[in-house]
Amino acid sequence: MSSVDSDRRRQLPAVDRVLADPRLRPLLSLYGSTALTTQVRDLLAALRLEIESGRLDEATLIQRLGSLPDELETTLAVRFGPPLRRVLNASGIFLHTNLGRTPLPVEVAEGLSALSTAACDLEIDLSTGRRGERSGRLEALLTALSGAEAARVTNNSAAALVLALHVLADGRDVIVSRGEQVEIGGSFRIPDILAAAGARVIEVGTTNRTRLADYEGAIGPTTAVLLKVHASNFRISGFVESVEAPALADLSRRHGLVLIADEGAGLLRRHAAPAFAGHPSMSELLASGCDLVIGSGDKLLGGPQSGLLLGRRELVERCGRHPLYRALRPGRLVTAALDGVLRRQLAGRPLPVERLWSEPEALRRRLVSLSLRLNAEILPAPAFVGGGAAPEVPIAGEALALPADEAFVARLRRGALDPSPLPPVPPVPSIPPIPPVIGALREGKFWLDLRTIDPLDDEVLALAVERARDLPGPED
């Protein structure tokens, strides 16, 4: 090794000196001293090897040392994954699966603080001092809202389906239309869920047409369940035919079978919005004769991720007594959040998704205000419910349209984690740190739809756009 390389090695700082850099304090709080110290040692060792191999000149070494905090941040984020962050959903898709679907109502979320930082009466009856049942509160609310005889809650709707099928059809046949054997989120397929529950799938009909006679012809001595599945984002148009719940309910009663309907979207009661005109609610499915109905708590209902199992008391209680339910039931935070959301519905509060079509005058005022501030166009743009609900029903309205600059869009998406130098932003009272923003790129424009943005976040959205415009791009 040359004397020049030796001099460059002496320029490498000690580990303690790097750790004393105030720019590393956020990383210390995120990852802890052990992981951060290990990564600092690894990066310094890598620089030492580059120097010894002659691949690192003086100017490059100085640049690399100056960017050491950024390199540590990137490396640690890749290794451990970045923490969850608050994101502004301006995509125009309200139930955006990638963005966590429905945000909890603010008052429900705020109520979770007291219920999560101390003990709560999750499974105790305070009037008697005896052990209670955590599902009791939720069952009372769900049965009142849906008309079901009984109810249980699981940690998601797929879990509710697996539980019901395992309890009622383990080792037996479940008849389902070929056109309803869909793939749901995360590449989970209905046939795979049935197989995991121990049931045998008997598919009937064709992809586009299934008749009542197809179901009746498949019923045999080992048949246990007729299953009807909401098609979610999958649609067939044209030469199609399917069997609705009332006809299947009559068939199941005549043959002593159980009819399970997977509603899919968490619509507890009928809603007047045109987007839901062809979507039967859970209460309607129960009234039409379904024995069990399964839905999501985190879609149209507006609650936390959870699965709702509603229906005949004898069947629901069989599922609740099964050991598998112990593994699938929700914990304290989900129970508390769902309790708060259901009480809002009981009090007649609007569904969160109603933001998509309510108060058009207020929306127009918001659009005009932000368009003037951000020099954006106001143009017609469709919004969608999302989450597999009303996938082919666009909701007419307007949104902000900006030039489709991919670098600008990337800076918005990265939010405060953008490694570029930040311009000074004057402090704004009551405004939280600027979060990432997700919009929509289409038709050569970048769209920001305020229908999926809480009005209280309009100022934060404007600051995020202004900041992303001020940041230098890669070519600057």
Residues in the chain: 476
Query: Which pLDDT score, from 0 to 100, does residue 424 have?
Result: 40
CB atoms within 10 A of CB 72: 21
- What is the number of H-type helices and E-type strands within the chain? 18, 19
The amino acid occupying position 349 is: R
Query: Which pLDDT score, from 0 to 100, does residue 212 have?
Result: 95
Query: Which pLDDT score, from 0 to 100, does residue 422 have?
Result: 37
- Taking the C-alpha atoms of residue 30 and residue 36, their distance in angstroms, rounded to an integer, is 9
pLDDT tens for the chain, 476 residues long, are 454 455 566 778 888 888 888 888 888 888 999 999 999 999 888 888 888 777 777 777 778 888 888 888 888 988 888 788 899 999 999 999 899 988 999 999 999 999 999 999 888 888 899 888 878 889 999 999 999 999 999 999 999 999 999 999 999 999 999 888 876 665 667 788 888 888 899 999 988 889 999 999 999 999 999 999 987 656 666 677 888 999 999 999 999 999 999 998 899 999 888 888 878 999 999 999 999 999 999 999 999 999 999 999 999 999 999 999 999 999 999 999 999 999 999 999 988 888 888 889 999 999 999 999 999 999 999 999 988 777 778 899 999 999 988 889 999 998 854 433 333 434 444 445 789 999 999 999 999 999 999 999 999 999 999 999 886 544 44
Query: Which pLDDT score, from 0 to 100, does residue 233 have?
Result: 58
SS3 164: helix
SS3 241: strand
- Taking the C-alpha atoms of residue 42 and residue 22, their distance in angstroms, rounded to an integer, is 20
CB atoms within 10 A of CB 43: 18
Q: CA torsion, points 370, 372, 373, 375, in degrees to nearest 10? A: 100
- Angle at which helix 458-470 crosses helix 406-414, to 10 degrees, equals 130
Query: Which pLDDT score, from 0 to 100, does residue 416 have?
Result: 55
Query: Which pLDDT score, from 0 to 100, does residue 417 have?
Result: 46
